Chain A
Amino acid sequence: GAVVSQHPSWVICKSGTSVKIECRSLDFQATTMFWYRQFPKQSLMLMATSNEGSKATYEQGVEKDKFLINHASLTLSTLTVTSAHPEDSSFYICSARLGQGVEEQFFGPGTRLTVL
């Protein structure tokens, strides 16, 4: 099956700093990548959808200036949490899809962010 990696697996940072999370599709080219956030005991919340070479589409309520997404190639998307605050502490998960239609999303292992 298709493999998606994320780096780092976990990160602890001070309030006010920025954190970059990478999502890579290792053995396929991902036309579309998704970024999710998951708080404890809650379901996945889609933050944004990014297509290679174009601007990300953010879900309502997600600040695009705070959560910067770059999808520069078919195998790499990055999420940068700028000026992180304790309330941004969460489990961030990316997923990748081959095409635009009905296809399974392959999930990365997730990144646990803790902001002190």
Chain B
Amino acid sequence: GQNIDQPTEMTATEGAIVQINCTYQTSGFNGLFWYQQHAGEAPTFLSYNVLDGLEEKGRFSSFLSRSKGYSYLLLKELQMKDSASYLCAVMDSNYQLIWGAGTKLIIKP
């Protein structure tokens, strides 16, 4: 079966760095997405990785290792507004998105 695993909840301090991991097992792979979702709102796109390595975009970076079925989202210089759920999603061989359950990130002052 297809499976996406990510931690349920993480806590970090304002100004610090946090890494949210995602492991996956899917039928085929056409890329991995990270989305941010604030409570009561729809997800917003953060990043897309299809090749191994690190993609940096401002305070957010995303890493992919296809051989390990592993990705992480790195958030630097955390701000209170970064408190949200972070969803990992993998596009399978049928171009369908398989969603993880999301990681709720709590930022403390």
Contacts and interface: CB of A to CB of B under 8 A. Distances in A.
B95 A44 contact: no
A107 B44 contact: yes
Contacts of B104: 41
Contacts of B43: 44, 93, 107
A100 interface: yes
A43 B99 contact: yes
A108 B50 contact: no
A43 B42 contact: no
Nearest to B43: A107
A42 interface: yes
Nearest to B88: A43
Contacts of A46: 96-97, 99
A49 B30 CA distance: 18
Interface in A1-58: 34, 41-46, 49
Contact of B45 (A45, A93, A100, A104): A104
A90 B11 CA distance: 27
Contacts of A91: 40
B7 interface: no
Contacts of B99: 43-46
B84 interface: no
Nearest to A103: B95
B38 to A, nearest CB: 11
B48 A104 contact: yes
Interface string B77-106: 000000000010001000111011110100
A108 B30 contact: no
Interface of B: 30-31, 33, 40-45, 48, 50, 87, 91, 95-97, 99-102, 104
6 contacts: A41-B104, A43-B87, A43-B102, A93-B43, A101-B30, A102-B50
Interface of A: 34, 41-46, 49, 91, 93, 100-102, 104-110, 112
Given A107-B42, A110-B41, 5 more contacts: A43-B87, A46-B99, A93-B42, A102-B31, A102-B95
